[in-house]
Amino acid sequence: MSRITCPVLKNKVTSAEEAAQFINDGDVVGMSGFTGAGYPKAVPTALAERAKEAHGRGEEFGIKLLTGASTAPEADGVLAEAGALKFRMPFQSDPNLRKSINTGETEYVDAHLSHSAQQTWFGFYGDVKVAVVEVSAILPNGLLVPSSAVGNNKTWLDLADKVIIEVNDWHPREYEGFHDVYYGTKLPPQRRPIQLLEPTQRIGDPYLRVDSDKVVAVVETSAPDRNAPFKSPDEGSKAMASHVVDFLRHEITAGRLPESLLPLQSGVGNVANAVMAEFAHSEFEGLTAYTEVIQDGMLDLIDTGKLTAVSATSFCLSAERATEFNENIEAYKGRILLRTQEISNHPEVVRRLGIIAINGMVEADIYGNVNSTHVMGSSIINGIGGSGDFARNAFLNFFVSPSVAKGGAISSIVPFASHVDHTEHDVHVVVTEQGIADLRGLSPAARAKKIINNCAHPDFRDRLQDYFDRASAANPNGRHTPHLLSEALSWHENFQANGQM
Ligand code: 0RQ
């Protein structure tokens, strides 16, 4: 049966090429998509072709693209390759787009994911001209059943002048009932508390609303999400995962955490997935998650019954796991709820629930400043994503990374971070395969001792200690956070000059 049962919207079905004609040079476009899930599968490619044709005629053609988070080669990838992205917000992870940002062709605002919707309402990014949103079905009354990501879709549908809907029948029709779209957001000073007290409590509607008069095109698709594979956890990831889980055991023994912990948030990537795998082999029961992305490891935990309730805004699954999920979707109903990202990552809710946040990092300095986004201070990898939303407001946060990168040429523990996303005031626990540094309640100098001894790779430990000792000796009145300013970034300079820190 057709996924479009609303007569008014059925009449608007057209091709991706026709739909792309509604998007013009310079438009602010809000697209669906979050970590490779729920992005539009057809219109971006048609739009990229339009841009290439315009460029061939010597005309300018580029859009300002806002999404939920990262998309896929068929969205960010094709648009960046066509030179069609003048501006991008709030998160990406695409090689073509990364290149376009780092060469200065695309302007990129790396925003906290929970801020992206409200900042658009505040007018930071101009008027949203077009929304391009993927859904899994349109009901007879015109309500939209979201697909594998909710992201910022509510905001794009509310704010855009024109709406293009993609209806993708690759998603199970049974997605109906998996979503909670909160329509209570207001702008200050009209805001009210977010009345959410448990991870999978419903506070909104199962559907997205759209004004059918604004809908200019409906496009039917049948294509999978990005569904990138995960590496099976290597020794380093397993070591980091076991440090985290042991630490949580210790916190329970010390009476600081209940036996079923507090709701977990876990970032994307292989280490995050490895941590979930470690939980699967642990004694923990009755776990919950209040997170933004559901990876394979979390579904495994639901399957074993260890994880009873998960709130998120999207999935990020391997192809294998996505197929299994789609075939058995009913088994997950009532245990998973996908929310708008302004709620999945809401600082108020994160603080109230007391989240345990686990995120990856690029480097940390000896005082606990964390860089999650930049290589050698200048080139962006992905973006801050939701790591700031969760870490800053968490009950307990972890930042995890191998102690070295690029075959040992780079130390992930450095005298001074070359870019700071999470400040020394926010970071609780730093983890590498070497060990764990619990920084809570420590002064900067005490933190340095822990990070150097517990987390740095042995190849770099003595040099870090030497830096700290000389900085202390050189600053008799600067021993709170001692630095040698002329040397603070010398490790990065060394790497750039000699390929070795
Ligand atoms: O590059 O593949 O070219 O070698 O960075 O590093 O070790 O594979 O780790 O995949 O877990 O990613 C911080 C990027 C870690 C990720 C980051 C190089 C390294 C490799 C990746 P290569 P790994 P991961 C919720 C939370 C920010 C967003 C976030 C991230 C590549 O976790 O994007 O937390 N986080 N969101 O070689 C130079 C160093 C390096 C380095 C690693 N010190 N110097 N290069 N690399 N350390 C999800 C969302 O918000 C959507």
**Separation CA 436–CA 240 (nearest Å):** 8
**Separation CA 212–CA 3 (nearest Å):** 16
User: What are the backbone angles phi and psi of residue 422, rounded to the nearest 5°?
Assistant: -125, 120
pLDDT (tens digit per residue) in 284-303: 999 999 999 999 999 999 99
Tokens encoding 411: 């130390």
CB-neighbour burial class of residue 348 (10 A; exposed 0-12, middle 13-18, buried 19+): middle
Predicted local distance difference test score (pLDDT) of residue 138: 98
Reported confidence tier of residue 268, pLDDT bands at 50, 70, 90: confident
Predicted local distance difference test score (pLDDT) of residue 270: 80
Residue nearest to atom 13 of ligand 1 (CA): 361
Predicted local distance difference test score (pLDDT) of residue 358: 97
What is the helix (H) or strand (E) element at residue 460, kind and residue range?
helix 458-474
Please answer whether residues 468 and 447 qualify as being in contact, where contact means their C-beta atoms are separated by less than 8 angstroms. Answer: no
- In ligand 1, the atom with minimum distance to the C-alpha of 69 is 51
Residue 8, SS3 per DSSP: helix
pLDDT reading at 232 higher than 90: no
Q: Tell which residue, 297, 292, 265, has the closest CA to residue 278.
A: 297
Q: Tell which residue, 341, 453, 272, 355, has the closest CA to residue 116.
A: 341
pLDDT reading at 249 higher than 80: yes
**Separation CA 276–CA 285 (nearest Å):** 13
**Separation CA 354–CA 196 (nearest Å):** 12
Residue nearest to atom 42 of ligand 1 (CA): 362
Residue 44, SS3 per DSSP: helix
Q: Catalytic residue among 74, 134, 278, 292, which?
A: 292
Residue 331, SS3 per DSSP: helix
Q: At what angle do helices 270-280 and 296-303 cross, to 10 degrees?
A: 10
**Distance of CA 482 to CAs 445, 467, 493, Å?**
8, 9, 20
pLDDT reading at 391 higher than 90: yes
**Separation CA 167–CA 145 (nearest Å):** 9
Predicted local distance difference test score (pLDDT) of residue 365: 99
The overall pTM is greater than 0.95: yes
- In ligand 1, the atom with minimum distance to the C-alpha of 70 is 51
Strand partners, 356: 264, 396
Average pLDDT over residues 372-397: 98
pLDDT reading at 164 higher than 80: yes
Average pLDDT over residues 258-274: 90
What is the helix (H) or strand (E) element at residue 115, kind and residue range?
helix 113-122
Tokens encoding 118: 């409200």
**Separation CA 49–CA 167 (nearest Å):** 21
pLDDT reading at 273 higher than 90: no
If you ran DSSP here, which 8-state letter would residue 320 be given?
H
**Distance of CA 22 to CAs 30, 50, 157, 166, Å?**
13, 11, 15, 14
Least confident of 82-96, 183-197, 229-243, 390-404: 229-243
pLDDT reading at 277 higher than 90: no
pLDDT (tens digit per residue) in 321-357: 999 999 999 999 999 999 999 999 999 999 999 999 9
pLDDT reading at 215 higher than 80: yes
360 CA to centre of ligand 1 in angstroms: 6
Residue list, ligand 1 pocket, CB within 6 Å: 35, 69, 91, 113, 267-271, 292-293, 359-363, 372-373, 375, 381-382, 384-387, 402, 405-406, 410, 412
- In ligand 1, the atom with minimum distance to the C-alpha of 35 is 51
- In ligand 1, the atom with minimum distance to the C-alpha of 401 is 7
Please answer whether residues 224 and 259 qualify as being in contact, where contact means their C-beta atoms are separated by less than 8 angstroms. Answer: no
Q: Tell which residue, 399, 415, 439, 409, has the closest CA to residue 365.
A: 415
Reported confidence tier of residue 228, pLDDT bands at 50, 70, 90: confident
Please answer whether residues 447 and 399 qualify as being in contact, where contact means their C-beta atoms are separated by less than 8 angstroms. Answer: no
pLDDT (tens digit per residue) in 450-490: 999 999 999 999 999 999 999 999 999 999 999 999 999 99
**Separation CA 87–CA 97 (nearest Å):** 10
**Distance of CA 292 to CAs 14, 48, 182, 317, 440, Å?**
33, 29, 15, 13, 25
Q: Tell which residue, 363, 438, 375, 465, has the closest CA to residue 404.
A: 363
Predicted local distance difference test score (pLDDT) of residue 56: 98
Reported confidence tier of residue 153, pLDDT bands at 50, 70, 90: very high
Residue 479, SS3 per DSSP: coil
Predicted local distance difference test score (pLDDT) of residue 319: 95
pLDDT more than 70, % of the chain: 100
**Separation CA 1–CA 4 (nearest Å):** 9
pLDDT (tens digit per residue) in 408-445: 999 999 999 999 999 999 999 999 999 999 999 999 99
User: What are the backbone angles phi and psi of residue 157, rounded to the nearest 5°?
Assistant: -65, -35
Tokens encoding 83: 């030179």
363 CA to centre of ligand 1 in angstroms: 9
In testing the pocket of ligand 1, which one of 365, 378, 406, 491 has its CB within 8 Å of the most ligand atoms?
406
pLDDT reading at 129 higher than 90: yes
**Separation CA 477–CA 472 (nearest Å):** 9
Please answer whether residues 256 and 348 qualify as being in contact, where contact means their C-beta atoms are separated by less than 8 angstroms. Answer: no
Q: For this structure, is 292 an active site residue? A: yes
**Separation CA 100–CA 58 (nearest Å):** 20
Q: Tell which residue, 320, 343, 31, has the closest CA to residue 185.
A: 343
Q: What is the CA radius of gyration of the chain?
A: 23
**Separation CA 493–CA 485 (nearest Å):** 13
**Separation CA 61–CA 354 (nearest Å):** 46
Q: Tell which residue, 11, 14, 89, 19, has the closest CA to residue 47.
A: 19
265 CA to centre of ligand 1 in angstroms: 17
Average pLDDT over residues 183-200: 97
Reported confidence tier of residue 48, pLDDT bands at 50, 70, 90: very high
